[in-house]
C-alpha cells in the first residue's frame, strides 16, 4: 500500500506521532511518503531551525525507510494558515492509496479533498491534536478560528474525509464542540511507543549502567520526568514534592531542555538537592533507556507522548487528569491520576508507590502485560490499515 502523511512540520529524529506512525507503516512493508514544509519559521512552539531546510522547490530524500518531500508554502501569514504549493501535483505523482492528514483542519485539507474527489477510491483520514488546554482560549481563536473558519473547512470536506481520529477523549469533546463532526466518523487513535526500539533484552544492563553513571544505588527508588521543561510541565512542583518527602533512597531524573524563562523557578525548586538529576536533553532513542533505569514516571503538567512511552516501558505512571479524560491511559490499574498538579496532590501519589513496593510491582506488571499491547505503535498502525481496508470493502 502507498501511504502519504501530510503534516505542516516534521522534525526528524523526534518521537512525535507522525514520525512514529510513518516509521511503523514502513516497517510493516508499505511505501511511505511524508509531505511537509520546506521552510517554515512561523511556529510558535518549535525551533524550526531543527528542520533541515533546502533551497530546492521540492527537496526529496530518504529518511530510514520512508521518503520525505518538503514543499514550499503558498503563504507565511501565520502558522495557523498554511497550504503547500504543488501538493496536488505531488500526490498525482505518488498515487497514494491512503492519505493521513495530521493536525487541525487547515486550508491544506481543501486540496486533499479536491484530490480525493478526483480519486474516490483512495482513503483520506485526519487526526486532531486540539483540546481546550492548547487551543480556543480566547474568543477570537474559539469563535473565529475554530467555530467559523475550521468548522467551515470540515463542512466543505466532510464527504471526502473518511474518518477523523482523536488522540484522547478530551480532544473528541473539542472536535464535536468546535467542528460538529458526527459520532460515526470519529474514532480513538492513541499515541504510543515503538516496542521494537526498546532494548528489553538488555534492560537490566542498561538500568545498572545509567544508575552507576548518576551514582544511584541499585535499591534506590527513581522517579523520572522530562520533555520540554517550561512552566506548563509543572516540573518545579514535582521537585518540591521530592524535597518535601525528603526520603534518602529516592532520586528524581529530570531530562529535557529548560526554557530560559523557567530556569530560575526550576532551580529554586531543586534547591541544590543532589538527588535531583537535571541531565539535559537526551535523544528520543535514549529516553527508553532512562525509563528502564527508573521505577516511577511522573508528569504533573501538560500531556506528552512520553506518557504512553513510559507505559510501554513498564513504568507505573502518575499524571494529572486533564478534563477528567486521562482514564484511557489506565488500561489495567497502571496509572494514578492526579486531581491537580499542586504539590499537595503529587506528594501522596508518590508516597503510595515509594512506600509500597508491592503496589509498584503490580502496576509495572499491568503496564507491561496490558498497557504495552494497547499503546504499541505496531497495533495502532495496523488499526489504521484495518480501517482503510474496511472502507475499501464497503465502497
**Architecture of 196-374 per CATH?**
3-Layer(aba) Sandwich (3.40)
Residue with cell 524563562: 261
Distance CA 290, CA 277 (A): 12
Q: How far apart are CA 229 and CA 35, in angstroms?
A: 29
- Tell whether the torsion through CA atoms of 97, 102, 104 and 109 is positive or negative: negative
Chain-centre distance for alpha carbon 359: 28
C-alpha cell at 156: 466543505
Contacts of 254 (CB under 8 A, 6+ apart): 224, 225, 226, 229, 235, 238, 239, 276, 277, 278, 279
Q: Which are the contacts of 329, defined by CB distance < 8 A and separation ≥ 6?
A: 307, 308, 311, 317, 319, 335, 371
Q: Angle formed by the axes of helices 87-94 and 108-118, to 10°? A: 40
- 395 residues of the chain, pLDDT tens digit each: 999 999 988 877 677 888 899 999 999 999 999 999 875 444 444 444 444 433 333 334 444 589 999 998 887 666 667 788 999 999 999 999 999 999 876 788 999 999 999 999 999 999 998 877 777 677 888 888 889 888 999 999 999 999 999 999 989 999 999 999 999 999 999 999 999 999 999 999 999 999 999 999 999 999 999 998 999 899 999 999 999 999 999 999 999 999 999 999 999 999 999 999 999 999 877 999 999 999 999 999 988 889 999 999 999 999 999 888 899 999 999 999 999 999 999 999 999 999 999 999 999 999 999 999 999 999 999 999 999 887 666 66
Domain 2-192+377-393 coded CATH 3.40.50.1380: no
Q: DSSP letters of 126-149?
A: EEE---TTTS--SHIIIIIIIIII
Q: Give the start-to-end residue ranges of the domains of the chain.
A: 2-192+377-393, 196-374
pLDDT value at residue 46: 45
Tally Cβ neighbours within 10 Å of residue 261: 9
Residue 187 forms beta bridges with which residues?
165
| Residues 251 and 216: beta-carbon distance below 8 Å | yes
Is there a contact between 332 and 370 (Cβ–Cβ < 8 Å)? yes
Q: Are 8 and 103 in contact (CB under 8 A)?
A: yes
Q: What is the DSSP string of 170-200?
A: HHHHHHHHHH---GGGEEE----B-GGGS-G
Whether 2-192+377-393 and 196-374 share one fold: the answer is: yes
CA distance 209 to 315: 18
Q: Are 333 and 267 in contact (CB under 8 A)?
A: no
Burial class (CB within 10 angstroms; exposed 0-12, middle 13-18, buried 19+) of 246: exposed
* Gap between the Cα atoms of 170 and 134, Å rounded: 11
Q: Environment class of residue 351 by beta-carbon count within 10 Å: exposed (0-12), middle (13-18) or buried (19+)?
A: middle
Round to the nearest angstrom and report the end-to-end CA distance of the chain. 17
Strand bridging mode 276-280 / 250-255: parallel
| Vertex 318 angle, CA 315 and 324, to 5° | 130
Amino acid at each position: 500500500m502507498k501511504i502519504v502523511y501530510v503534516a505542516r512540520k516534521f522534525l526528524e529524529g523526534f518521537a512525535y506521532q507522525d514520525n512514529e506512525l510513518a516509521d511503523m507503516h514502513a516497517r510493516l512493508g508499505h511505501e511511505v511518503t511524508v509531505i511537509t514544509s520546506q521552510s517554515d519559521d512561523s511556529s510558535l512552539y518549535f525551533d524550526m531551525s531543527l528542520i533541515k531546510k533546502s533551497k530546492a522547490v521540492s527537496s526529496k530524500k530518504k529518511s530510514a525507510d520512508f521518503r520525505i518531500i518538503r514543499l514550499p508554502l503558498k503563504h507565511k501569514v501565520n502558522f495557523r494558515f498554511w497550504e503547500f504549493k504543488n501538493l496536488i501535483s505531488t500526490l498525482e505523482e505518488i498515487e497514494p492509496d491512503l492519505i493521513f492528514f495530521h493536525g487541525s483542519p487547515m486550508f491544506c485539507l481543501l486540496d486533499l479533498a479536491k484530490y480525493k474527489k478526483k480519486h474516490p477510491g483512495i482513503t483520506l483520514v485526519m487526526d486532531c491534536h486540539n483540546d481546550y488546554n492548547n487551543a480556543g482560549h480566547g474568543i477570537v481563536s474559539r469563535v473565529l478560528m475554530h467555530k467559523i473558519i475550521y468548522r467551515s473547512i470540515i463542512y466543505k470536506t466532510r464527504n471526502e474525509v473518511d474518518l477523523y481520529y482523536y488522540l484522547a477523549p478530551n480532544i473528541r469533546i473539542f472536535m464535536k464542540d468546535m467542528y460538529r463532526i458526527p459520532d460515526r466518523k470519529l474514532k480513538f487513535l492513541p499515541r504510543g511507543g515503538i516496542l521494537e526500539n526498546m532494548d528489553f533484552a538488555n534492560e537490566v544492563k542498561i538500568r545498572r549502567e545509567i544508575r552507576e553513571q548518576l551514582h544511584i544505588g541499585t535499591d534506590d527508588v527513581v522517579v523520572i520526568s522530562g520533555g520540554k521543561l517550561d512552566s506548563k510541565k509543572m516540573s518545579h512542583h514535582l521537585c518540591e514534592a521530592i524535597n518535601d518527602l525528603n526520603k534518602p533512597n529516592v532520586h528524581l531524573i529530570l531530562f529535557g531542555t529548560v526554557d530560559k524563562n523557567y530556569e530560575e523557578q526550576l532551580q529554586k525548586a531543586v534547591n541544590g538537592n543532589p538527588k535531583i538529576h537535571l541531565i539535559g536533553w537526551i535523544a528520543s532513542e535514549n529516553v527508553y533507556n532512562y525509563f528502564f533505569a527508573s521505577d516511577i514516571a511522573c508528569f504533573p503538567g501538560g500531556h506528552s507522548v512520553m506518557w504512553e512511552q513510559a507505559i510501554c516501558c513498564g513504568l507505573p505512571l502518575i499524571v494529572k487528569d486533564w478534563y477528567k479524560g486521562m482514564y484511557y491511559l489506565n488500561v489495567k490499574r497502571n496509572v494514578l491520576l492526579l486531581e491537580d498538579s499542586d504539590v499537595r496532590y503529587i506528594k501522596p501519589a508518590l508516597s503510595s508507590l515509594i512506600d509500597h513496593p508491592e503496589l509498584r510491582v503490580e502496576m509495572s506488571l499491568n503496564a507491561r502485560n496490558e498497557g504495552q499491547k494497547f499503546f504499541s505503535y505496531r497495533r495502532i498502525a495496523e488499526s489504521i490499515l484495518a480501517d482503510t481496508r474496511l472502507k475499501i470493502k464497503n465502497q
